[in-house]
Amino acid sequence: MDDITLYFHIERLFAAYCACLDEDRLEAWPELFTADGSYTMISRENHAHGHPIPLLWLDGRGMLEDRIHALRNASIYEAHRYRHAQSGVQVIDRDDDEVRVASSYIVVQTRGEGFSEVYQAGSYYDRIAIDGDTMRFRERLVVYDTARIKTLLATPV
Amino acid sequence: MDDITLYFHIERLFAAYCACLDEDRLEAWPELFTADGSYTMISRENHAHGHPIPLLWLDGRGMLEDRIHALRNASIYEAHRYRHAQSGVQVIDRDDDEVRVASSYIVVQTRGEGFSEVYQAGSYYDRIAIDGDTMRFRERLVVYDTARIKTLLATPV
Amino acid sequence: MDDITLYFHIERLFAAYCACLDEDRLEAWPELFTADGSYTMISRENHAHGHPIPLLWLDGRGMLEDRIHALRNASIYEAHRYRHAQSGVQVIDRDDDEVRVASSYIVVQTRGEGFSEVYQAGSYYDRIAIDGDTMRFRERLVVYDTARIKTLLATPV
């Protein structure tokens, strides 16, 4: 796969990821991960100091599906919308069946009272499995800069 | 047209659109629409409930030009600048002469007193006419999440 | 170089630029400029009125390296993180060894107390030197909309 094609498929995966969360199609979100894929969210400070204590750790697609099921059926949280902006997408390393990618994100949130504001900013560090033209997250590590957020984390970022 | 080429031309149209609004080249904005192109802006809530009451509805390039003419010559509003961030670009459907595209936007506004803040976030749902390599909006539907904005809407988003 | 390839390499340069600043790899930032490359930051107002008084002017890679050295070793400023969002990338002009590009940026900053907010928004106007597949900034002109910023400028935007 040449570089233009590689980045093209990465961009499509990232767009699908953002669209699942931003357009409230949460049920489609776990499908963007491999069956054994993981989603980990950890603060910049803990990550920098090597403290392996994440805010959220979902290991395997089943846990991702559980999280969405809980959000839809059990959790109580204020209605909100996310909008992602993503930039600085860089392939760090690659081999035949995997590519490692780093990028920056900014998430704007609109809550019930109708105001939109920056909710969180940080980095995605990804291991993406390549299966022909299909790419899926084997590991998405979310390292957030934002130490204080105004609401509890409900929807994944 | 292969997928990489298709997305490339969509990205160029989106970049031209953002540049018109962000760089204050408003007169070039209607040219990005087909002669019968429409621009509709509606709240997420009204859109979700099927209430067809937009905040703004411009039907045909002539109405878009009128809007810009009014902005330049008649409307009184505080000087401001937009900056768009766009992400999550997804082709939803396509045939030979049209492509349907969804994406997320965040708009930051800088007003006269010099502060920059999130002004609005939402989705674009587009029907884009394909004429060779040229793409134009046949329909741009702007669904905004932000229910409360701090100033009146002057410039289109 | 065809248009898709041209934009692809521009996007990679922009991604590398954002990653240097957002991921705190400041030492790699000057390498994205040609040896005689310049970095100029000026307010929208001064730029619009033709007043050539920049907030920051670094002429030549040596001055860029000095700036980073000072940031690392001499300057006293509050710890912070940037996250860039970039959009509206448009090639304005090109010849065999240079391309002129305009784009919009939004920078979100997270400071020591942990809140993330919009720090600055504006335009990049670039002259980019093309050397085979390698692109470097010959001139990056940063025109910021944001007249009031809450902290002094430490890290370049």
**One-character DSSP codes across chain A:** --HHHHHHHHHHHHHHHHHHHHTT-GGGSGGGEEEEEEEEEEEHHHHHTT----SEEEESHHHHHHHHHHHHHT-----EEEEEEEEEEEEEEEETTEEEEEEEEEEEEEETT--EEEEEEEEEEEEEEEETTEEEEEEEEEEE-----SS---S--
Note whether residue A26 is domain-resident: yes
Alpha-carbon span A39 to A58, nearest angstrom = 5
Name every chain B residue with its beta carbon within 8 A of the beta carbon of C9: none
Q: Tell me the per-residue pLDDT of C126-157, one tens digit each, with 9 for 90 and over.
A: 999 999 989 999 999 999 998 876 666 778 99
Tell me if B156 is assigned to some domain. no
Per the domain annotation, does C47 fall within a domain?
yes
DSSP code of residue C14: H
CA quadruple B1, B2, B3, B8: dihedral positive or negative? negative
Query: Which of B8, B115, B116 is opposite residue C4, by nearest beta carbon?
Result: B8
Q: Choosing among A84, A87, A143, A150, which should be mutated to test the C contact, i.e. which has the most C CBs within 10 A?
A: A87
Given this model, what pLDDT does residue C146 score?
A: 87
Q: What percent of chain B has pLDDT over 90?
A: 75
The pLDDT assigned to C29 comes to: 97
Angle at which helix A3-22 crosses helix B3-22, to 10 degrees, equals 60
Answer whether C109's CB lies under 8 Å from C117's CB.
yes
**Residue type for B82, please?**
Y
Would B125 be classed as within a structural domain?
Answer: yes
First to last CA, chain C: 29
Out of B88, B90, B146, name the one closest to residue A110 (CB): B146
Distance from the Cα of B52 to chain C's closest Cα (Å) equals 30
β-strand partners of A95: A98
Residue C156 domain-assigned? no
- C136 located within any domain: yes
Taking CB atoms and an 8 Å limit, are A19 and B104 in contact across chains? yes
Closest residue in chain B to residue C106, using alpha carbons only: B83
* Pick from A130, A108, A131: nearest CA to A119: A108
Given pLDDT bands bounded at 50, 70 and 90, which one contains residue A142? very high
Q: What is the chain C residue with the closest CA to A143?
A: C23
Q: Do A148 and C114 touch (CB under 8 A)?
A: yes
Q: Inter-chain contact A148–C15, Cβ cutoff 8 Å?
A: no
pLDDT, averaged across chain B:
93
Structure confidence at residue A150 (pLDDT) = 62
From chain B, pick out residues whose CB is under 8 angstroms from the CB of A12: 90
pLDDT number for residue B52: 79
User: What 3-state class would DSSP assign to C58?
Assistant: strand
Q: What is the pTM of this model?
A: 0.95
Tell whether the torsion through CA atoms of A42, A43, A48 and A51 is positive or negative.
negative
Chain C residue nearest residue A149, CA to CA: C115
Cβ contact, residue pair C145, B115, below 8 Å? no
Cα distances (angstroms) measured from residue B66 to each of A33, B27, B45: 48, 10, 28
| CA-to-CA dists, residue B45 to A77, A107, A155, B108, C43, angstroms | 18, 21, 20, 22, 38
Alpha helices by DSSP H, listed for chain B, are: 3-22, 44-48, 61-73
pLDDT in tens, A51-107: 878 889 999 999 999 999 999 887 777 778 999 999 999 999 999 999 999 999 999
Nearest to A60 by CA among A154, A130, A137: A137
Identify from B145, B148, B151 which residue to disrupt to test chain A contact, counting A C-beta atoms within 10 A and taking the largest count.
B145
Which residue in C has a C-alpha nearest to residue A91's C-alpha?
Answer: C12
The distance of B62 to chain A (nearest Cα, Å) reads 32
Neighbours of A152 (CB within 10 A): 8
Question: Hey, are the CB atoms on A121 and C106 less than 8 Å from each other?
Answer: no
Query: What are the pLDDT digits (tens) for B41-92?
Result: 999 989 989 887 888 899 999 999 999 999 988 777 777 899 999 999 999 9
Q: Which residues of A touch B3 (CB under 8 A)?
A: 8
**Token pair 């060894």 is at which residue?**
C97
Structural domain count of chain A: 1
User: Quick one: pLDDT band at residue A152, thresholds 50, 70, 90?
Assistant: low
Which segment of A80-94, C71-85, C108-122 scores lowest on mean pLDDT?
A: C71-85
B128 lies in some domain: yes
Domain range for A125: 3-144
Compare B50 and A141 and report the one with higher pLDDT.
A141
Q: Distance from C103 to chain B by nearest Cα, in Å?
A: 7
Measured between CA atoms, how close is C73 to chain B, in angstroms?
A: 30
Q: Hey, are the CB atoms on A44 and C81 less than 8 Å from each other?
A: yes
In a domain, residue C112? The reply is yes
pLDDT tens digits along B124-148? 999 999 998 899 999 999 999 988 7
- Report the CATH number that the domain containing residue B72 is assigned in CATH: 3.10.450.50
